[in-house]
Amino acid sequence: MPELPEVETVRRGLDGLVSGQKITALRIDYNRMIKSDLTTFKNNLINQTIHEVNRRGKYLLFELGEQTLISHLRMEGKWLSYLSTDIPDNKHFHGFFDLSNGQTLVYQDVRKFGTMELVRTDKLADFFADKRIGPEPTETDFNLRTFQHQLSGSQKKIKPYLLDQSLVAGLGNIYVDEVLWLAKIHPSEIARHLSAKKVAELRGAVIHILEKAVKYGGSTIRSYKNALGLDGTMQDYLQVYGKTGQPCARCGTPIEKYKLAGRGTHFCPKCQKLKKV
DNA sequence: CGGGATGTTGAGCA
DNA sequence: GTGCTCAACATCCC
């Protein structure tokens, strides 16, 4: 469940549940999801107080003071909360964090792609710089001039470029298709073929779509159980993702789907035309 | 049953 | 640097 709006929705739910709570015990049943040293991870987390839960791009940040627990949900990671004495059996529960208020924070991940690691808080900026995570998709952080400069110098196709997180943080496969539909840009368009005006519209669409999705609590698509904070309704407002064959809301042309850089890609063949080369 | 697809990312290779 | 394929893993849907 992991694009920025879903992660932000989880963050808000978690923050209220765990802020001020101390981790009194923890158990990890799937060691490979811990990217930093496992022994250090356990030793350094125990007895730590979670001051707040923040977010950067699609990463959740549990602020512990000197250290920060970074959690990435990847495809199917979820955080759940149970009374410590009442945790159901589930073969996809991989991490258990007992809190001082009698609750246990449980990490569930069907596909086991999600990751956790503990980093020194003063190294957080380096962590995201190393991963080339771009600015947050906000009016203040997401600079138009920088964006235009990056696109004007690139031969990359716009959708895969937007997905690599370096231009702007937080877009995933659902919202990138929505953004390109809104901005009327073909997903395979070459970045430097976009006019300055188009790039400005694209930036506006990124900010608008992600803000709207956060407002509606993200999208709940293939999620079965409603994980923490995942009762989103943004799926009711999607225009192209999962709408193959249905009429475009703007022009009525059936939405098409093709594969681009390994990802299912939805677009309107009339509204989103490739530029003639 | 076989094959393909799924809200992600990073490694390996031409 | 860039672009592609695959891999991590489990489940669902033809």
Which member of A201, A263, A269, A270 is catalytic? Answer: A263
A2 is catalytic: yes
The confidence band for A141, taking pLDDT boundaries of 50, 70 and 90, is very high
What share of chain A has pLDDT > 70, as a percent? 96
CB neighbours of residue A92 within 10 Å:
15
Mean pLDDT value across residues A133-161: 96
What share of chain A has pLDDT > 90, as a percent? 93
C-alpha closest to that of A7 among A83, A88, A76, A110: A76
Q: How far apart are CA A55 and CA A67, in angstroms?
A: 15
Mean pLDDT value across residues A224-238: 76
Q: How far apart are CA A202 and CA A190, in angstroms?
A: 14
A58 is catalytic: yes
Q: What is the pLDDT of residues A30-60, one digit of tens each?
A: 999 999 999 999 999 999 999 999 999 999 9
Q: Which residues pair with A69 in a beta bridge?
A: A62, A118
Q: What is the pLDDT of residues A96-110, one digit of tens each?
A: 999 999 999 999 999
Does the pLDDT at position A146 exceed 90? yes
The confidence band for A231, taking pLDDT boundaries of 50, 70 and 90, is confident
A74 is catalytic: no
Q: How far apart are CA A122 and CA A65, in angstroms?
A: 10
**Rounded distance in angstroms from the CA atom of residue A261 to the C1' atom of nucleotide C6:** 12
Q: For residue A273, say whether its CB is under 7 Å from any atom of strand C.
A: no
Q: What is this structure's pTM? A: 0.96
Does the pLDDT at position A226 exceed 80? no
Q: Which nucleotide is nearest to A76 (CA to C1')?
A: B7
Question: Which of A56 and A231 is assigned the larger pLDDT?
Answer: A56
Which member of A11, A55, A58, A203 is catalytic? Answer: A58
Q: How far apart are CA A166 and CA A8, in angstroms?
A: 19
Mean pLDDT, chain A, whole residue set: 94
Residue A277: per-residue pLDDT: 61
Classify residue A96 as exposed, middle or buried by CB count within 10 Å of its CB (0-12, 13-18, 19+): middle
